[in-house]
Amino acid sequence: MNVRQTGFQPPEGPAPLDRPSREEAEAAVRTLLRWAGDDPAREGLLDTPSRVARAYGEWFAGYEDDPEAMLQRTFEEVEGYDEMVLLTDIRFESHCEHHLAPIIGKAHVAYLPTDRVVGISKLARLVDAYAKRLQVQEKLTAQIAGALDRALKPRGVAVLIEGEHHCMSTRGVHRPGVSMVTTRLTGAFQENPALRAEFMALAQPDRRSR
């Protein structure tokens, strides 16, 4: 099997943030506990600041990842396959950058290969790398599609995301069970209505039958 390294060079980004220490992060959690009206010194909350700091390390692990670098390793030996490659129902967990509330949902990611494909696990990892950051769903959708476009240079990319936003379901208007749907289509998926319809039907078969 032929394997290609795409030679991706990470774009120059902003200077690294001056991240606070673990101790400063835990102190900030104690401040929020006091602001909420509780006593961070009581038994049940003594270890909460440490737990929250560890949880943040998991929830926002995407800041440590280079999403496009994940797509460097590609495969050329595909017997000329040039039809849609689609991975559906990629469950993701993210957080709203406006309220820090969870966004829970599924991503459906497709591309039309030119002369190479990427391992399917990399598509799921790509979703996680962007989801595990503070996000808005529109940006998340565009970031996933953009990374695939730049790294694989396919004939087209299609991304559809369905997410329940807990900033809407557990506060504010209190509307649980409401899903937000966003899409980003490039290349042939944008230009060819039949291909676009095929992607939508495969990505959301239940909605198609309603």
Q: Which residues are catalytic?
A: 96-99, 137, 165, 167
Q: Does 95 appear as a known binding residue?
A: no
- 122, containing H or E segment: helix 120-131
Is there a binding annotation on residue 166?
A: no
CA distance 31 to 201: 49
**What CA dihedral angle connects 65, 91, 175 and 36, to 10 degrees?**
-40
What CA–CA distance (Å, rounded) separates 76 from 1? Answer: 7
Determine the Cα–Cα distance for residues 169 and 103; give it in Å rounded to an integer.
10
The region, left, alpha or beta by phi > 0 then psi within -120 to 50, assigned to residue 136 is beta
- 157 is written with which tokens? 């990319």
Distance CA 197, CA 190 (A): 10
Q: How many residues does the chain have?
A: 210
Give the Cα separation of 128 and 92 in Å (integer): 6
Binding site, by residue number, is 96, 99, 167
Binding site for Zn(2+), by residue number, is 96, 99, 167
